[in-house]
Amino acid sequence: MRHLLTGTIAAHGMALGRARLVQPSRYIVDTRPLAEEEIEGELLLLHRALDTARQELRELRGKLHGALAREVNEFIDAHSLLLDDAELLRGLDDLVRIGHYRPGAALKKQRDRLSAVFEAMDDPYLRSRKEDVEQVINRVISALQRQTSPEERKLAARVGEILIADSIAPGDMAQLAGNGLLGVVASSGSAYSHSAILARSLGLPMLVGTRDALSNIHDDDLILLDAERGEAIVHPAAQDLSRYRAWQREAAIEGRRLAKLANAPTRTCDGIEIGLLANAETAADVAMARARGADGVGLYRTEFLFLKHKGLPSEDEQFIAYRDLVMGMGGLPVTIRTLDLGADKADAAGLSLRGEDNPALGVRGVRLSLRYPAVFTTQIRAILRAACYGPVRVLVPMVTQPDEMIAVRTLFKLARQDLKRENVDLPEKLPLGAMIEVPAAAINVRALLEYSDFLAIGTNDLAQYVLAADRGNDALENIYNPLQPALLRLLSHVISAGRRAKKPVSLCGEIAGDVNFTALLLMLGLCEFSMHPSQILHVRDRLATLDHADLRRHAAQLLRAHTHEQAEALLNRIVGASAPN
């Protein structure tokens, strides 16, 4: 019988497939107490499952590259650390050896106990970490069950299916996407989470907050996932399937129409030129950016060079990667962001830092680079050498105060002098910009502009820091919203300061590639957007429908909004009124 469930759209699209439930919290576990003679054998099964889970994470890390690796590796690292946590392992062993629990029951008890501990924490960030604990132990439970049920197919091998889950880790989504996953319905989660962002990049339709999904959907149910309306339909009726086929035809037509925009100029309907840049990390990203008519690369992430193997990359290795990037863009400008790692990833890159309670607020970005000037200078030399092959800008992440930009400029000057003595060809100029993602940098942006040739706003982190809200925490959806007035006023302040200083300002956060926010950013005065290459044609198409002058006239009205609900209502009214006839 047809049954309709609703949720929040995290990634648009539609898909038709068989449901595959992932309900580790509902795994049937054997609760019979162990006999004394069974303990050693069951411990062996438990440790074998733990080893399997560790090996799965190692293999997954080895398979990922590029943008996927950046989004996913921090979660893989966190999960790997949990699997080696001495307290967790000791607790499991004690439950089996002393409490006579069977491995599945021990894992479930530990998961429930630790989840309760995290749930009781006052700190929203720490409270949200319970999801990591649950996902790690669920992975071990799954590995344990595969030992006793060899006929069960591995999750990664499933194709043509809609995944139904409490939540899905970015690593699992990346792994499944390569094996034919059609879409995701999650009973929890946020549209701004890493998994949601990854789904959009992968083109996978996704709903989150579909509260009754696990209790109303069964394995192998036929599911129509409609992430245009925010619906998941169990056992769709003929009219539902007809709508899906119509959507497929329209999507194909729309795809062909958008493809024609690849070589079109980027202009608003009143003729204002807007720059569309690409966020890139791999050769595939660069190729897609060129194919879709990007005006350049607005953010090239260099972390993958430091994370793809143990140890630090050499100057030549970095030079080759940067040179290939510059040449791949065929004379279009490229913005290379210097190393943006924190203490949570520094060890993997060969940089030793003591553990930090909160790496997001610790030694990361430019703070890490200035702490290791020799490592930073190697990167600077590689960038300077590559900049002879085409126009290059350098973007410095996590800037907080002008002193950091002064220090970076000094290191560039010294590296240039050394290379000149070595008779190495050097670019005549190399613009140096600050990434605005720390509230202090945004508030004090005028001082930073004295030492910066351009600015790039990183709204993903800036929003989290301004609003004190983890974007992946679905309990904070009402707070983490790009239309929050405090964030809008800060964005306007930064963009206006750049315009007055006659220095370029781009925005490279997730909202740059979201057509729902294109009008908003135009209204705030932004003229340079940087996004995942897959979004370029969609944003170019959206810009052609917007009247720049009319939107700008309403900016002051929008900035007087008191709440994000007011801002959204105003934006919708203004955009509707200014739409061309």
CB 505 within 8 A of CB 455: yes
Task: Dump the DSSP string for 521-535.
Answer: HHHTT--EEEE-GGG
Could you give the CA distance from residue 576 to residue 554 in angstroms, rounded to a whole number? 12
Could you give the CA distance from residue 400 to residue 436 in angstroms, rounded to a whole number? 8
Task: Dump the DSSP string for 88-157.
Answer: HHHHHHHHHHTT---HHHHHHHHHHHHHHHHHT-S-HHHHHTHHHHHHHHHHHHHHHHHHH-TTSPPGGG
CB 242 within 8 A of CB 38: no
Amino acid code (one letter) for 178: G
> By three-state DSSP, how is residue 581 classified?
coil
Q: Which of 235, 493, 508, 538 is catalytic?
A: 508
**Burial letters for 437-472: b for 16+ Cβ neighbours within 10 Å, e otherwise?**
bbbebbeebeebbebbebbbbbbbbbbbbbbebbbb
For tokens 């139904």, name the residue: 164
Q: How far is CA 140 from CA 53, 466, 568, in A?
A: 6, 37, 43
Q: Which of 194, 538, 548, 564 is catalytic?
A: 194
End-to-end alpha-carbon separation of the chain, Å?
44
Question: Does the annotation mark 194 as catalytic?
Answer: yes
CB 17 within 8 A of CB 182: yes
Give the H/E segment covering residue 252: helix 238-259
Which strand ranges, in their side-by-side order, compose the sheet holding 231-234? 3-6, 231-234, 222-226, 14-22, 161-165, 183-186, 206-208, 8-11
Amino acid code (one letter) for 577: A
Q: Under 8 Å CB-to-CB from 527, ≥6 apart: which residues?
A: 272, 273, 274, 275, 505
Give the H/E segment covering residue 250: helix 238-259
CB 279 within 8 A of CB 531: yes
Question: Does the annotation mark 508 as catalytic?
Answer: yes
Contacts of 288-293 with C-beta under 8 Å, sequence gap 24+, read 288/533, 288/534, 289/329, 289/533, 289/536, 290/328, 290/329, 290/330, 290/332, 291/262, 292/262, 292/533, 292/534, 292/536, 292/537, 293/261, 293/262, 293/263, 293/264, 293/266, 293/536, 293/537, 293/540
Could you give the CA distance from residue 46 to residue 52 in angstroms, rounded to a whole number? 10
Q: Where are the alpha helices (DSSP H) in 159-212?
A: 170-177, 194-202
Beta carbons within 10 angstroms of residue 322's beta carbon: 24
Q: Is 493 exposed, middle or buried (0-12, 13-18, 19+ CB in 10 A)?
A: middle
Q: What is the CA radius of gyration of the chain?
A: 25
Q: Where are the alpha helices (DSSP H) in 372-517?
A: 373-386, 402-421, 439-443, 445-449, 459-467, 485-500
Could you give the CA distance from residue 407 to residue 400 in angstroms, rounded to a whole number? 12
Catalytic center residues:
194, 508
